[in-house]
Structure 1
Amino acid sequence: MNILGLVVEYNPFHNGHLYHLLKSKEITKATHTVAIMSGNFLQRGEPALFDKYTRARAAVENDVDLVIELPTLFACQSAEIFSHGAVATLNSLNCINSICFGSEVGDIEILYTISKILVNEPNEFKTSLKKYLNDGMLFPTARSNALFDYINENNLVDISKDELLSILNSSNNILGIEYIKSLLKLKSNIKPYTITRINSEYNSESIDSSICSATAIRKALKNTDDVSFASKVVPLPTYNILNTNIEKNFNPIFDEMFFDILSSIILRDSHDLDKYFDVNEGIENKIYQSIFTSSNLEELHSLVKSKRYTLTKIKRTLNNILLGITKDDMALVKDMNYIPYIRVLAFNDKGREILKTIKNNSEINIINKFSKISFAIDDAKFKTLIDYDIKASNIYNMIYYKNNRQLLKGPMDFYMSPTYVK
């Protein structure tokens, strides 16, 4: 058995994801695939279009074998924390042979070289970095220059300074570097691979071909009730699931739908907003002042955004406030090298084979139903991770089930079972 690991959000699963899946299986010669997927809230500080069970089913119907939820405390954070949580989860399974991710550069050698320098921080690199910082450079620029100097002086790879800067400023390259850094820190046997993203930029909002970004699909779904356009850009299983959900009044979810909930939390916790993760440097004052004059989430983003705080940073910070993610709880879990459990969301017959292999190779807890878990576990990290998964689902479902309140039985993580796709 040759098991490939993928780190995904599938928001939604589109033709580019299908290309990545097929190409990844081809270059790794994988026989089985495991996807570590963000749950109901995502890495850029946004809610998912559809709930985690729906997106997991779409993934398995598109030939992913097993979908596992990435714990919420990792799923909603910076590239470094997100990537470490995902890689640590894969590594904890003790049976994953490879990981394959998309990148703008499509060159594993240069990404591995950069990652190794950043993990080991050779003395020459540290000296160069310190010099640039002392010259008044901002950290990202100083680090880029120090990396280039070290790579060039040691003839590690043939690359120009402009090419290196472009790599370090590209979203998927950044994630790829963080995946490899985590593999190195964990001394993992999982082998990294990368494939070049095709046709569409990560944040492109245009739909010009059969492969476009998830951002473009989400924007189109937000602006129209006619979802027929999606048949051109998502595989048929995704399209059918999307249509079925909408027919059942489970409509796409967008971040502005949580504005009223978020506003109430900001006003309630105005005196201790700085307890939340990523609320630093007085940004809590700007958030509190801005909530009074913001009539929607977009206005709040605009008022808080500045040269110091990017839009993505603001969205993650506000999402931490929405989900109640505190600095203390993040400090407890963010550097975990072993994840104590996995939550299975969907699987097929090959997925069953993987789960059997996990049971035989790892001591990790495999959760199919939360109702079967004893929460009197004497493990603060385990309990903290699970509590946030449940809390995030509860907050998400207050909006997701708005048109189907009669189906909301309570905390749905206790009622939902993994989807078996035959």
Structure 2
Amino acid sequence: MKILGLIVEYNPFHNGHLYHLQKSIEKTQATHTIAIMSGNFLQRGEPALFDKYTRAHAAVKNGVDLVIELPTMFACQSAEIFSHGAITTLNTLNCVDSICFGSEEGDIDILYTISKILVDEPKEFKICLKKYLDDGMLFPTARSLALFDYINKFKLLDISKEKLLDILNSSNNILGLEYIKSILKLNSKIKPYTITRVQSDYNSETIESNICSATAIRKQLKNLNDISSISKVVPNNTFDVLKGKFNDNFYPMFDDNYFEILSSIIVRDKDILNTYFDVNEGIENRIYQNIFTSSTLGDLKESIKSKRYTMTKIKRTLNNILLGITKNDMKKIKNINSIPYIRILAFNDKGREIIKNIKNNSEVNIINKFSNISFSKDDDIFKTLIDYDIKASNIYNLIYYKNNKNLLKGPMDFYISPKYVK
């Protein structure tokens, strides 16, 4: 058994994801695949289009063997925290041979070399970095220039300054570098691979061919709310799964849907907003001042945006407030080197083989159904992570089930079992 790990959101699973899956299996010669997938809230600080079980179901229908949920506290944060949580989860399983991620660069040796310098921080690199910082440069610029000087001095790569800057500023490269850094920090045996992303930029908002970004798909669904509008850019299996949700009156979720809940929390928690993770530099004052005059979440985000606060920073900050993720709780889990449990969302027969392998090689708690597990009140990390998973699902489902209130029995994590795909 040769197991490939994938770190994904599948929001939703589209043709580009299918290409990545197939090419990753080919490149790593994997026999089995595990996807570590964000749950109901995502890395950009927004809700998923469809619930985690639906997205996991589509993934397995398209060829993934086992889908495991990335704990919410990691799933909604910066590239560094997101990557650390995902790699730590894969490493905890103690049976994953490789990961393969999409990147703009496409050359694993270049990404590995850069990552190793950033993890090891050799003396010469730190001297260069300090010099640029002392000159008044912002940290990202100073780090980029120090990296180039170090690489050039020791002839580690044949790379121009322009190309290095481009690598360090490209979204999928950034994630890839963080994946490799986490592998190195954990001294993991997982081997990283990468493949070049094809045809569509990560942030592109237009559908121009049969492969486009998930951003473009989400925009199309938001504008038209018509599942047929994305039929040419998702595999048939994805289309069938999502069409079934539409037929059952479950529709795509967007961050605007949670604006009223968020507004109430901001007003209620005025005096403790700065206890939430990523709420710093006085952003809580701008959030509170502008909540009363904002008619939509878009209005609120635009009113907060400034040179100091990027849109991505604002979205993650507001999402942390929505989910109640505190600085103290994030401090507990930010640097853990193992995950106390895994939550299975969907699997097939080969996925069953992986689960058996995990049981034989790891001591991690495997959660199939909440009602069958006795939660460890003594393990603070376990309890902190699981509580946020449940809370995130509950908040998500308050809106997601608005057309199906008769189906909302309570905390749905206790009622929904992982999807077995034959």
Please tell me the TM-score bracket, short chain as reference: over 0.9
Query: Within 2, Cα distance between the matches of 1:312 and 1:347?
Result: 33
Query: Within 2, Cα distance between the matches of 1:409 and 1:315?
Result: 30
Query: Within 2, Cα distance between the matches of 1:402 and 1:324?
Result: 22
State the partner residue of 2:46: 46
Q: Is the 8 A contact 2:60 2:421 kept in 1?
A: yes
Q: Does 1:250 align with 2:250?
A: yes
Query: Within 2, Cα distance between the matches of 1:309 and 1:362?
Result: 41
Give the gaps of 5 or more residues in structure 1. Answer: none
State the partner residue of 1:173: 173
Residue 87 of structure 1: how far off its partner (Å): 0.1
Query: Within 2, Cα distance between the matches of 1:312 and 1:401?
Result: 27
Residue 302 of structure 1: how far off its partner (Å): 0.1
State the partner residue of 1:31: 31
Give the letter aligned to residue 143 of structure 1: R
Query: Within 1, Cα distance between the matches of 2:378 and 2:164?
Result: 47
Give the letter aligned to residue 97 of structure 1: D
- 1:155-198 CA deviation, whole Å, 9 max, x = no partner? 00110000000000000000000000000000000000000000
Query: Within 1, Cα distance between the matches of 2:131 and 2:300?
Result: 39
- Secondary structure class of the residue paired with 2:47: coil
Q: Does 1:311 align with 2:333?
A: no
Query: Within 1, Cα distance between the matches of 2:371 and 2:324?
Result: 23
**Within 5 A, what are the aligned runs for 1:82-121?**
82-121=82-121
Residue 371 of structure 1: how far off its partner (Å): 1.3
Residue 376 of structure 1: how far off its partner (Å): 4.4
Query: Within 2, Cα distance between the matches of 1:376 and 1:71?
Result: 16
State the partner residue of 1:58: 58
State the partner residue of 2:300: 300
**Within 5 A, what are the aligned runs for 1:3-42?**
3-42=3-42
Q: Is the 8 A contact 2:221 2:229 kept in 1?
A: no
- Secondary structure class of the residue paired with 2:37: strand
Q: Does 1:276 align with 2:276?
A: yes
Query: Within 1, Cα distance between the matches of 2:277 and 2:75?
Result: 14
- 1:23-58 CA deviation, whole Å, 9 max, x = no partner? 000000000000000000000000000000000000
Give the letter aligned to residue 59 of structure 2: A
Give the letter aligned to residue 222 of structure 1: K
- Secondary structure class of the residue paired with 1:345: strand
Residue 375 of structure 1: how far off its partner (Å): 2.6
State the partner residue of 2:367: 367
Q: Does 1:233 align with 2:229?
A: no
Query: Within 2, Cα distance between the matches of 1:362 and 1:272?
Result: 40
Residue 229 of structure 1: how far off its partner (Å): 2.5
Give the gaps of 5 or more residues in structure 2. Answer: none
**Within 5 A, what are the aligned runs for 1:279-358?**
279-358=279-358
Give the letter aligned to residue 257 of structure 2: M
Query: Within 2, Cα distance between the matches of 1:336 and 1:246?
Result: 39
- 1:387-418 CA deviation, whole Å, 9 max, x = no partner? 00000000000000000000000000000100
Give the letter aligned to residue 61 of structure 2: E
State the partner residue of 2:262: 262
Query: Within 1, Cα distance between the matches of 2:173 and 2:153?
Result: 23
**Cα 1:242/1:130, change in 2 over 3 Å:** same
- Secondary structure class of the residue paired with 2:167: helix
Q: Does 1:188 align with 2:218?
A: no
Residue 370 of structure 1: how far off its partner (Å): 1.0
Give the letter aligned to residue 241 of structure 1: V
Residue 6 of structure 1: how far off its partner (Å): 0.2
Give the letter aligned to residue 9 of structure 1: E
Q: Is the 8 A contact 2:100 2:193 kept in 1?
A: yes
- Secondary structure class of the residue paired with 1:176: helix
- Secondary structure class of the residue paired with 1:232: coil
Q: Is the 8 A contact 2:98 2:191 kept in 1?
A: yes
- Secondary structure class of the residue paired with 2:271: coil
**Within 5 A, what are the aligned runs for 1:364-403?**
364-403=364-403
- 1:348-397 CA deviation, whole Å, 9 max, x = no partner? 00000000000000000000011122234310000000000000000000
Q: Does 1:74 align with 2:87?
A: no
Q: Is the 8 A contact 2:112 2:180 kept in 1?
A: yes
Query: Within 2, Cα distance between the matches of 1:54 and 1:123?
Result: 49
Query: Within 1, Cα distance between the matches of 2:101 and 2:226?
Result: 32
Q: Is the 8 A contact 2:376 2:382 kept in 1?
A: no
Percent identical pairs in the alignment equals 76
Query: Within 2, Cα distance between the matches of 1:46 and 1:171?
Result: 17
- Secondary structure class of the residue paired with 2:82: helix
Residue 333 of structure 1: how far off its partner (Å): 0.4
Deviates more, 1:226-235 or 1:294-303: 226-235
Query: Within 2, Cα distance between the matches of 1:115 and 1:177?
Result: 6
- 1:258-312 CA deviation, whole Å, 9 max, x = no partner? 0000000000000110000000011100000010110000000000011111101
Query: Within 2, Cα distance between the matches of 1:376 and 1:208?
Result: 50
Query: Within 1, Cα distance between the matches of 2:375 and 2:417?
Result: 18
- 1:297-345 CA deviation, whole Å, 9 max, x = no partner? 0000000011111101100000000000000000000111100100000
Query: Within 2, Cα distance between the matches of 1:359 and 1:376?
Result: 19
TM-score computed with the length of structure 2 as normaliser: 0.99
Give the letter aligned to residue 60 of structure 1: V
Query: Within 2, Cα distance between the matches of 1:226 and 1:257?
Result: 17
TM-score computed with the length of structure 1 as normaliser: 0.99
- What is the count of residue pairs matched by the alignment? 422
Give the letter aligned to residue 85 of structure 2: G
Query: Within 1, Cα distance between the matches of 2:401 and 2:225?
Result: 19
Regions of 4+ moved over 6 Å: none
**Within 5 A, what are the aligned runs for 1:126-145?**
126-145=126-145
Query: Within 2, Cα distance between the matches of 1:408 and 1:350?
Result: 32
Give the letter aligned to residue 345 of structure 2: L
Query: Within 2, Cα distance between the matches of 1:196 and 1:354?
Result: 27
